[in-house]
Structure 1
Amino acid sequence: MNRIVFVEDDAEVGNLIAAYLGKHDIEVLVEPRGDTAEARIAKERPDLVLLDIMLPGKDGMTLCRDLRPSYSGPIVLLTSLDSDMNHILSLEMGANDYILKTTPPAVLLARLRLHLRQNPQQSVGEVPPAPSLKTGNALQFGQLRIDPVNREVTLIDETIILSTSDFDLLWELATHAGRIMDREALLLNLRGVSYDGLDRSIDVAISRLRRKLYDNTLEPFRIKTVRNKGYLFAPNAWESAQE
């Protein structure tokens, strides 16, 4: 059974969601205050953190930002604030998703399950945290270096020029190196939207990344396509500019 911490000061909302998710094998621990949530999360080591925005002590946006250096699991904002600015800000703070409280419970369950599938933890708390864009830790794979502070990518001595969205996609893939990322997970993590089965923007961006990173366009070996599953960033395929 998966376990999540739900930071929510409205006891009725917390209990309703806890009861619903509990029927679907997700244990929910409700924490009513933002300023005590970090300690609770550190103690419980949940598979996912669900946050309201309007909280006593510390708001959900600030809490999300403060959690990111030490918590590697998915963080989802669940709020009644239907605001594009809040949606964008939450993603910049490190959230994986932004869901309105008016979302049907079955849809909420499906989206939480998606995040839990994409972030499996065989032993809760023992999975090393994935690097965050805000941590300032550059990633190195052979001759490929990805610097999140300056948003620079170099392959051997060549600087690879990427757009903001392409850099974010590369970072998302690289921080999950060796793991398959499906289109829905990539769209949710990068844009906070669900995959509708028709959107091909991720495929187009992957093709663009492959060209710029000297991947083989006919038989990609650096950013691989895993049939009917998604894409996989190969961590050991970066020893030279071209292979």
Structure 2
Amino acid sequence: MDLSSHILVVDDDPELRTLIGGFLREHGYRVDEVGDAAAMRDAIARRRPDLIVLDVMMPGEDGLAAARRLASESGPPVIMLSALGTDTDRIIGLEVGADDYLAKPCNPRELLARVRALLRRRSPAGDGGTGTNGATVFGFDGWSLDVARRELRDPAGTYINLSDGEFALLRTFIEHPQRVLSRDQLLDYARGHNVDVYDRAIDSQVSRLRRKLNERGGTEMIRTVRNEGYMLLPSVVRR
């Protein structure tokens, strides 16, 4: 059990909120519960959580708008819960910046598994992943990515905000430079085998990441290889 991880549950249904919060506490997490997006903002200001479980359909600011704002502010990772469970609904949730999406009603054990998977990817102890050989800072075409600090800086040294999904994708490209990666490989490397994501969500996140890199660097960094996948063009140097 990870007693240090703090989870914020945001849902306007008090019964479900209490059920989820209690289940997560039973498995060793510190949990706060709030009923809407405004209370979520106040809770984050008091103590930033390691992860947010966020309902989609809430009064006032809905979960999609809240997730989009959190992603733009490089907020904590988000697992969205929604009674809307079609593929399109899931894709929209992932495209606005959520890291995972579960349809209600969900099995609490599946939610727990996804919480654990997201927190593992966020853990500094896990930053010696495939291809890093213990290095935490990588340079490519004047850019710098500090894996341990989760910091991307452009050639001028300016910090660039990345969502969790964008960071996971960039790290995957950095660890497999100048190599074509299929969507399936990106799904496996960046999100893990047990997370429910879709090809279109990968395409959307690659597009956003590529736009951030191109805006600052001015040259093509990630190439689309027709019918095969994507490739990071610059060479990578460990520092």
| Normalised TM-score (structure 2) | 0.58
Corresponding position: 1:185 with 2:191? yes
Match for 1:142: what amino acid? F
Residue of structure 1 in register with 2:237 after alignment: 236
Deviation at 1:78, TM superposition (A): 1.1
Q: What are the ranges of 5 or more consecutive residues in structure 1 without an aligned counterpart?
A: 123-139, 146-168, 193-204, 215-221, 223-234, 238-243
Deviation at 1:46, TM superposition (A): 0.4
Corresponding position: 1:67 with 2:74? no
Deviation at 1:179, TM superposition (A): 7.9
Following the alignment from structure 1 to structure 2, what is the Cα–Cα distance between the partners of residues 183 and 118?
11
Aligned pairs for 1:110-121 (under 5 A) are 110-120=113-123
Aligned pairs for 1:164-203 (under 5 A) are 172-175=168-171, 183=189, 185-186=191-192, 188=195, 191=198
Cα 1:95–1:27 change in 2 (3 A) is same
Deviation at 1:34, TM superposition (A): 1.7
Residue of structure 2 in register with 1:38 after alignment: 41
Q: Which moved more, 1:56-65 or 1:35-44?
A: 35-44
| Normalised TM-score (structure 1) | 0.57
- Secondary structure of the 2:9 match is strand
Contact 2:6 2:50 in 1 (8 A): yes
Q: What are the ranges of 5 or more consecutive residues in structure 2 without an aligned counterpart?
A: 126-137, 144-164, 177-185, 200-225
Aligned pairs for 1:137-148 (under 5 A) are 141-143=139-141
Larger % of helix: which?
2
Backbone CA RMSD of aligned residues: 3.8
Following the alignment from structure 2 to structure 1, what is the Cα–Cα distance between the partners of residues 52 and 12?
15
Identity %: 29
Following the alignment from structure 1 to structure 2, what is the Cα–Cα distance between the partners of residues 141 and 63?
33
Superposed CA deviations along residues 79-132 of structure 1, whole A, max 9, x for unmatched, are: 22112222111111100000122221111111110001001268xxxxxxxxxx
Pick aligned residue for 2:7 from 4, 7, 13: 4
- Secondary structure of the 1:82 match is coil
Contact 2:83 2:103 in 1 (8 A): yes
- Secondary structure of the 1:68 match is helix
Pick aligned residue for 1:92 from 92, 95, 100: 95
